[in-house]
A and B are shown apart, each in its own frame.
Chain A
Amino acid sequence: MAEQLPPQTFRVTRADLIRYAGASGDFNTIHWSERIARDVGLPGVIAHGMFTMALGGRALAVWAGAADAVVEYGVRFTRPVPVPDTDEGTEVVVTGVVKEVTEDGLTRIDLTATCNGEKVLSLGKAVIRKR
């Protein structure tokens, strides 16, 4: 039986994107300039795909009960995560389903992330090693 994991909700604000740009070294202008984001046809500033993927990684750590549990982790970036310039920003919800627990202690998880009810990460596949 596929086991549904408890969904994890993460708030994302403009300040988070600025902090992530600095920490990751990804200073692509569409993640901090409303003007340039709109110029290239986006609804406004969007989150780094890798930031959203990192939130999925946090969900995996919560589900695994360990921060160092991830053995494999892959996603497809389906659509952008617009982050409005408000105190609330937006919310990303990460859901997961256990697909398989192997004999050597690995757990296979399918993962999805949504924002405003739309899929932003799809085909998320992870393998975690529980302690």
Chain B
Amino acid sequence: MPLDPSFIGRSWPATPPYQVGREKIREFATAIGATDAEYHDPAAARAAGHPDVVAPPTFPVVLTMAASRQIISDPELGMDYSRVVHGDQRFAYTRPVVAGDSLVCVNTVEEITTRGGHDFITTRAEVTTEAGEPVVTVWSKLVQRGEA
């Protein structure tokens, strides 16, 4: 069953705030093998002009992936997650994510298409502080493979 195209353009209410912790940033940086001082040492981050340790560029997926359940788990969309693979991913930053940020996501479905028996859905998460300061925009394209 193809994805419901009436979801195109739909937005959801902001997700509950995600508190970006210093230890979570360190844990994520360690997990990707990144030893850069700005990810681990608040003094080094401050010397680079940031209020606290900086998150690696792909860190926002920690919150946007959880937030996207708002969309993909809606039964009306008709997604069979067992057939889904990650197609594309993109981040566009206003400023880096730093420890101490309290971030919310507003999700929108940008596009749903069907090609060669596969369904494609592109979602956009506008990640801002609770106060509404833009931080990063995150696009994900998921591919639902056709049933064999």
Contact = CB atoms under 8 A, between A and B. Distances in A.
Chain B contact residues, majority secondary structure: mixed
Contacts of A71: 92-93
B92 A72 contact: yes
A10 B62 CA distance: 22
Contacts of A66: 38, 48
A20 B31 contact: yes
Contact of A67 (B28, B38, B86, B88): B38
Interface residues of A, number: 32
A68 B31 contact: no
A76 B140 CA distance: 10
Chain B interface extent, by class: 20 to 34
Given A23-B28, A53-B58, A57-B58, A76 B88 contact: yes
B66 A58 contact: no
A60 interface: yes
B90 interface: yes
A124 to B, nearest CB: 10
Interface in A62-93: 66-68, 70-77
B34 interface: yes
Interface stretch (B2-10, B49-57, B125-133): B49-57
Interface of A: 10, 16, 19-20, 22-26, 40, 49-51, 53-55, 57-58, 60-61, 66-68, 70-77, 123
Interface of B: 24, 27-28, 30-34, 36-39, 48, 50, 54, 56-58, 61-62, 65-66, 82, 85-93, 96, 139
